[in-house]
Amino acid sequence: MRLRPFCSRCWSYEYERSLSKIDRFDYQSTNPFNQKRMKKAIVVVLVVATAAHALWANLQPDSLFLDANNQYDAKNYQQAIGSYLQLLSEGYQDDDVYYNLGNAYYRNGNSAQAIWCYEKSLLINGSNSDARTNLEFLSNTILGDQESVPENFFAYFWKSVYSVMSWRWWAFSVIACLVLTLALFLMFLLSNQIQRRRFFFVLTAFSTLLLLLSLAQSISGNYRLKNSRYAIVISEASNMKSSPDADGTSIAVLIPGVKVKITDSKSPWIEVLAPDGTTGWMIESDVLKLTTTIPSLQ
């Protein structure tokens, strides 16, 4: 390979040519018209990139959810459980995911985990009738006719109202009722006739009551979801002790699937209230709290 001899004239020419290109680029980049075009191009690129990212973020959980459902339909329950758990770990926490995960756990022979999933699904969406039906079926099948302390009327009534729809829809209804209340109140102010003012006053008062009810149900549902004091026993033959001590007297034995209420905590022990009203202490790892997001990573 032959090398070309160094030519100072050629080098000077190339150097000046490069400088002219740099000056031209600087001029174009400092030109106000070109700057506007560049800004528009950057905005378009950012919008397209954001839309593509949002689309990908929405499609990815859906595809994983469909894949988990297909695994379940093919009776590959362990693989379906893994896919549903991956959805939960990625933040896709929905009542349908917990419901389907509960079905997969039940088919895989883990009824206690299934009961926990159905309870979790109902915390998110109290109107999920399928989850409620499966929960009642499992509770009757596994736990039988266990004695339980009935709820007071007001707590039962409040939970019944909440079960009309999910807490998210209660939150949406707050906005809808607020807009409706403001519109009716404006109509009340703009009305000149006494009968019309009375009519809009009654409607405004009724809409205000709906607004307060929706707000209370939304706050209450969100609070129960994040601060629930209930848990499901998942350990085989969990002993309730009279004190938070391994040497304490055994009060009762709770089977997997029993729903208990946590009343106190002294790590690693928790004081629980059993459905029949019995109070005792048990190891915290024997239960799965409803505040937990993911039941298991295995």
Q: Can you give the pLDDT at residue 107?
A: 93
% the chain with pLDDT above 90: 32
Paired with 289 in beta bridges are 231
For residue range 96-119, list pLDDT tens digits in order.
999 999 999 999 999 999 999 999
Is residue 234 within 8 Å of 209, Cβ to Cβ? no
User: Kindly report the CA angle at 126 between 271 and 256, in degrees rounded to 5?
Assistant: 40
Whether the pLDDT of residue 94 is over 80: the answer is: yes
Whether the pLDDT of residue 53 is over 80: the answer is: no
User: Residue 51's pLDDT band (boundaries 50, 70, 90)?
Assistant: very low
Mean pLDDT of the chain: 79
CA distances (Å), 193 to each of 182, 198, 207, 278, in order? 19, 9, 21, 63
Whether the pLDDT of residue 13 is over 60: the answer is: no
- For the chain, helix (H) and strand (E) counts, in that order, are 9, 7
Buried b (16+ CB within 10 A) or exposed e, 260-292: bebeeeeeebbbbbbbeeebbbbebebbbebbe
Q: Can you give the pLDDT at residue 161?
A: 79
Q: Quick check: helix, strand or coil at residue 184?
A: helix
Q: Can you give the pLDDT at residue 223?
A: 85
User: Residue 235's pLDDT band (boundaries 50, 70, 90)?
Assistant: confident
Residue of higher predicted confidence among 140 and 102: 102
User: Residue 298's pLDDT band (boundaries 50, 70, 90)?
Assistant: very low
Q: Can you give the pLDDT at residue 191?
A: 84
Name the amino acid, one letter, at 162: Y
Q: CA end-to-end span of the chain, whole Å?
A: 64
232: nearest Cα among 138, 298, 95:
138
Q: State the DSSP code for 267.
A: T
Q: Sheet containing 230-233: which strands, arranged edge to edge?
A: 250-254, 238-241, 279-283, 269-273, 259-266, 230-233, 287-289
Residue of higher predicted confidence among 157 and 204: 204
Buried b (16+ CB within 10 A) or exposed e, 87-121: bbeeebebbbbbbbbbbbbbebebbbbbbbbbbbb
Whether the pLDDT of residue 282 is over 70: the answer is: yes
Phi and psi dihedrals of 240, rounded to 5?
-90, 130
Name the amino acid, one letter, at 142: I
User: How far is the C-alpha of 249 from the C-alpha of 58, rounded, in Å?
Assistant: 53
Summarize the confidence of residues 120-144 as an average pLDDT.
88
Residue located via tokens 């893994």: 82
252: nearest Cα among 263, 239, 269:
239
Residue of higher predicted confidence among 58 and 156: 156
244: nearest Cα among 205, 214, 270:
270
Q: Can you give the pLDDT at residue 290?
A: 92
Whether the pLDDT of residue 83 is over 80: the answer is: yes
Q: Can you give the pLDDT at residue 55?
A: 38
CA distances (Å), 33 to each of 24, 26, 30, 39, in order? 15, 13, 9, 10
Q: State the DSSP code for 276.
A: T
Q: Can you give the pLDDT at residue 280?
A: 92
Whether the pLDDT of residue 8 is over 60: the answer is: no
User: How far is the C-alpha of 183 from the C-alpha of 265, rounded, in Å?
Assistant: 49
> What is the per-residue DSSP string for 122-141?
HHH-TT-HHHHHHHHHHIII
Q: What is the pTM of this model?
A: 0.71
Whether the pLDDT of residue 35 is over 80: the answer is: no
